[in-house]
Structure 1
Amino acid sequence: MKTNTIKHIGRSEFVNMGPIRLRQPLPTKRIDNIDPFILLHHYGPYEISADNNPFDLGPHPHRGFEPITFLVQGEQLHRDSLGNESIVKAGDVQWTTAGRGIIHAEKPTAEFVNKGGVIEGIQLWLNLPAEKKMIPANYQHEKAKDFRKVISEDKKITTQIIAGELEETYGRIKTQTAVNAFMIYAEEDGYQFISFDKSHQCMLYLLKGKVIINESETLEFNENQLIQFNQDGEGFSIKAASNSLLLFLSGEPLNEKVATYGPYVMNTQTEIMEAMRDYQMGKMGFLVP
């Protein structure tokens, strides 16, 4: 199979978000977005305790996109203006469709804070097309044990299919657009070829370890951690140089104008102003702190 050539290799630099210091491989000075993906934050690992808990995100709104959390370590409490309340644990995924508006809050559970532990995860912003930006909000929480998996021939790489499809294995998350989201657990010396639709833009992000991509390019934690591929092949190969964890994302580009401000992702500045007004008027619902 023909491998996709590499368009960009990037680092995952640290940025400050209030009291939280986290990695931001997307966007960067070189890349505004990888359509339809707007933002990727890699937070943690943070040591959480009763004396140190900066990761308490009070009620805040979203509109026009899908904020998605892949929790790698720890435990978080999710609440939202739809009435959902759930405890997201290590390996779980919460997939929120903000649509026309949702207010949610996230923080480590009180029990987790009291006993202490480590929190780490990925926050992804997936854009919605203009025709779906004002659909009703929705929330999906899928547990790690329930995700379907594809295992390499050498039994050393397990690909968790969160959304989309790989080798006729389908993810449990219902998506609004054509996207793939896979979490890849690779043991040292493991090999796997990951295929995807040529129409998709895609990227691969390394959370830990070291891998060789297409037998030529290296991703290594604290060095280069993100690869963006060109749309010119049928997939890519992974060879694990050490025990590694990767997130693969692909999706059909929307090719639409993007206007962002704070927690809103729309198509025009007028729509951004409307979102701010609607939030202030209570049209996105309510969530008691």
Structure 2
Amino acid sequence: MKLNTIRTVGQSDFVNMGPIRLRQPLPTQQVEMVDPFILLHHYGPYDISEKSNPFDLGPHPHRGFEPITFLVQGEQLHRDSLGNESVVKAGDVQWTTAGRGIIHAEAPTKEFVKQGGTIEGIQLWLNLPAEKKMMVANYQHVKHEDFRVVTSEDEKVVTRIIAGELNTTYGRIATQTSVNAFMIEAKAGGRESITFSDTHQGMLYLLKGKVKVNDETTLELDKNQFIQFHQDGDGFSIEADENSLLLFMSGEPFNEPVSTYGPYVMNTQTEIMEAMRDYQMGKMGFLTPN
């Protein structure tokens, strides 16, 4: 296997988003986007209780992309204007295709807030190509135990295939574009090689632990947590120095203009204005506060 060379090694600095503080490895001053990925937020771990519940996101709209949640710890209630209501638990993934418009809300369940606990997860924004930005909205929720896995030869690395394909093992999520999403759990000393198409742009994010990538670059919390690969190989290798958790994403770039404003990702500023108008006119549906 020809290893992809590393294009960028970046930190995951904290940013303030309203009442919460979270890590933002994408975008940064170094990396504006990894086409087709627009944004990556690592939120938590937050201690949730009746006295402290900062992660309560009331009804809000989206258009033109796919907001995706990988829940690492805790329990969240998802509600949306399509009529979906589901409890997302640790290890689950919710994959929302906003398309022409959806309104959704996310928050720890009332039961979880009452008993107390920890919330942690990844929020990823995956762009949609111009031809699909106005498609009908859709929602997918896949539980942790239902994902297919690939296990390394040493049995110390387990890769959950969320979307796409690895070693002829396919993800449960139906995607709109050519994309891979893998959650990689590695025990100390574990080694694994991950392959992906040379037509994809790839990125790797460390949620916890310490790993060596391609035997040359070490990812470690609060130091380097994010890697963007060049499109010049067949994949990468990891070796875990300690128990670690990583998210790998790759996708076919669109090479299209991107215009963003708040919860909208479109191709032009005019389309952004249309999205704002359509939301105000109720064309994205309705969702009452919980």
Give the 3-state SS of the residue equivalent to 1:278 in structure 2.
Answer: helix
Kindly indicate whether residue 236 of structure 2 is the aligned counterpart of residue 230 of structure 1.
Answer: no
What is the CA-CA distance between 1:137 and the residue it aligns to?
Answer: 0.1
The 3-state SS of whatever aligns with 1:2 is coil
CA distance in 1, matches of 2:206, 2:132: 31
Specify the alignment match of 2:166 in structure 1: 166
**Structure 2, unaligned runs of 5 or more:** none
Deviation of 1:30 after TM superposition, in Å, equals 1.3
CA distance in structure 1 between the partners assigned to 2:144 and 2:172 by the alignment? 11
Find the aligned partners of 1:159 and 1:197 in 2 and give their Cα distance.
17
Aligned residue-pair number: 289
Deviations 1:255-281 (A, max 9, x none): 000000000000000000000000000
Q: Is 1:95 aligned with 2:95?
A: yes
CA offsets, 1:21-61, max 9 Å, x none?
A: 00000000111100000000000000000000011100000
2:103 is equivalent to residue 106 of structure 1: no
Aligned to 1:115: 115
Which ranges of 4 or more aligned residues in structure 1 deviate by more than 3 Å? none
Identity of aligned residues (%): 76
Instruction: Spell out the pairing of 1:151-230 with structure 2 (5 A cutoff).
Output: 151-230=151-230
CA–CA separation in structure 1 for the residues paired with 2:73 and 2:61? 25
Q: Which amino acid aligns with 1:100?
A: R
TM-score (norm 1): 1.00
User: What amino acid does structure 1 have at the position aligned with 2:211?
Assistant: V
3-state DSSP of counterpart to 1:185: strand
Q: Letter of the 1:129 partner, please give it.
A: P
Structure 1 residue 100: deviation in Å? Answer: 0.1
1:59-70 → structure 2 map (5 Å cutoff): 59-70=59-70
Matches within 5 A, 1:1-289: 1-289=1-289
- Mapped partners of 1:58, 1:218: distance in 2: 38
Q: Could you say what secondary structure the match of 1:154 adopts?
A: coil
Give the secondary-structure state (helix, strand or coil) at the position aligned to 1:202.
strand
Which amino acid letter does the alignment assign opposite residue 110 of structure 1? K
Query: Which string of whole-angstrom CA distances, capped at 9 and with x for unpartnered residues, describes residues 146-175 of structure 1?
Result: 000000000000000000000000000000
Consecutive unaligned residues in structure 1, runs of 5 or more: none
TM-score (normalizing by structure 2): 0.99
